[in-house]
Amino acid sequence: MNIFISANNTDQGKTYSTLLLMEEFAKKGYKVGVMKPIETGVENIPVDGERLFEKAKILNPSLNTLTLNDIVPIRHKLPAAPYVSGEVDFKKIKKAYNKIKPLCDILLIEGAGGILVPVSENFKMINFLKFFNAKLFIVFGSKLGMINDFLLNKSYLKSNGINFTWAINIFDEKNYFEISHPFMKQYKPLFIQKDLDRITQKLLGE
């Protein structure tokens, strides 16, 4: 199974959530793998990709046969959407994927930014669902403005017939429950910090 991890924007907790999801799936007995096909804002080492890779190797030692280049095949220096930051070689991404996939039961694939971030002229982050035959998981950061982000994502995905699992990453519990939760509670949100078991069960289809 492949799970593509996105968010309502950049810096909302994709890497943080991916690390926790890897641990939870591993606890359930699955061999986990991870990749971040594209990382921008890379000066020397892809920071997010390296964190993911180091954790994944602990949880699944068979990944030690890989290198960081396999985990993050495309790296751009400019911290911008891939369409702006540089060319994306999809064949290179697929080659890396084909090396990783046989080593794991569940592959977590972290995107960049949100679902409509442009990767190339005719390809957006959401298109990686089909590219990897992946399920979609979206992290919504609890910062002010998340309600609008949630409704926009929900509307777009529903109108395009795309199923998704989602959870909230709480940055400030007091502010979230005072400001956003009075509205969000009608959607019965799950929280990265509290509901990993239920989140992984939903992703597994249980």
CATH of 2-204, one of 3.40.50.300, 3.50.50.60, 3.40.50.11900, 3.30.70.120: 3.40.50.300
* Local confidence band at 75 (pLDDT 50, 70, 90 cut-offs): very high
Domain ranges of the chain: 2-204
**Given phi > 0 = left and psi -120 to 50 = alpha, else beta, which region is 90?**
alpha
3-state secondary structure of 5: strand
Q: Which amino acid is at 125?
A: M
Residue 157 CA neighbour count, 13 Å, CB half: 24
pLDDT for residue 136? 98
Q: Does pLDDT of 134 surpass 80? A: yes
E strands present in 38-197: 38-40, 74-76, 106-110, 118-120, 123-124, 135-141, 165-169
**Tell me, what's the pLDDT at 206?**
64
Q: What is the pTM of this model?
A: 0.95
**pLDDT at 11 (0 to 100):** 85
Q: How many residues does the chain have?
A: 206
Per the annotation, the verdict on 91 as an active-site residue is no
CA distance 43 to 49: 13
The active-site residue out of 27, 28, 36, 135 is 36
- pLDDT per residue over 78-130, tens digit each? 999 999 999 999 999 999 999 999 999 999 999 999 999 999 999 999 999 99
